[in-house]
Chain A
């Protein structure tokens, strides 16, 4: 299985809602990543988990809260988002943090009203 899966595919939420994005991989990878991608732009790194520990937080606002419950699963908890947070959220994984080929999921298209 060489796939990274993400759910849901689409999400619409209000600014007062709490929601979560889920990412899963079964390749035995020990590094997982969250990216944010705005239209017609490259992905921007948000968080990196290495061996289930948060190793990089790219100064992301606290309304985004990542969680890595186990080596296969990565969540992104969302609370009190702003309309400018509307974007495609991509999850990726790699064998470990020193191995530089990343596998990306299909993304969750988030719209904040």
Chain B
């Protein structure tokens, strides 16, 4: 069945460091891929998405590219800030219906 495997956390980085959070998926067909962010005490916010192979999603300095050949959708940011401290979820939605498959989440802490 469809699934998402996400990099284990927690991740601790210094401010202005480079961030990569790995996400790989298993799916039949051509799913859509998402990164959601959850700040402490809040709900999930859509960070970025990609709906087909080679699409690059980007938002707030974060980027992820839909790589069908490696079944990956890694999240990157060139220079993290303290305000980026949150839990990041990679998610997959098959191209039929609207079931979501979430990864386990990666907790990021950015220290000044």
Closest residue of chain A to B95 (Cβ to Cβ) is A100
A101 to B105, CA, bound (A): 18
Q: Evaluate contact between B103 and A42: CB separation under 8 angstroms.
A: yes
Contacts of A92 in B (CB 8 A): 44
Contacts of A105 in B (CB 8 A): 43
A6 to B36, CA, bound (A): 19
- The residues of A with any CB-CB pair to B shorter than 8 Å are 4, 6, 31, 40-43, 45, 48, 88, 90, 92, 94, 97-107
Determine which of A6, A42, A98 lies in contact with B98 in the assembled complex, contact meaning CB atoms within 8 Å: A98
Contacts of B32 in A (CB 8 A): 100-101
Q: Evaluate contact between A107 and B98: CB separation under 8 angstroms.
A: no
10 CB contacts below 8 A, A to B, read A40-B87, A40-B107, A42-B103, A45-B99, A98-B96, A100-B93, A101-B46, A102-B100, A104-B43, A104-B45
Chain B facing A: main interface SS: strand
Q: Which residue of B87, B98, B107 has the most chain A CB atoms within 10 A of its CB atom? A: B98
Contacts of B107 in A (CB 8 A): 40
How many residues of B sit at the interface, in one of the four size bands? 20 to 34
Q: Evaluate contact between A99 and B98: CB separation under 8 angstroms.
A: yes
A111 to B95, CA, bound (A): 36
Closest residue of chain A to B9 (Cβ to Cβ) is A40
Within 8 A of A (CB), among B88-110: 89, 93, 96-100, 102-105, 107
Contacts of B100 in A (CB 8 A): 43, 45, 100, 102
| Residues A97 and B97 in contact in the complex (CB < 8 Å), given A90-B44, A104-B45, A106-B42 | yes
Q: Mark B66-101, 1 if CB is under 8 A from A, else 0.
A: 000000000000000000000101000100111110
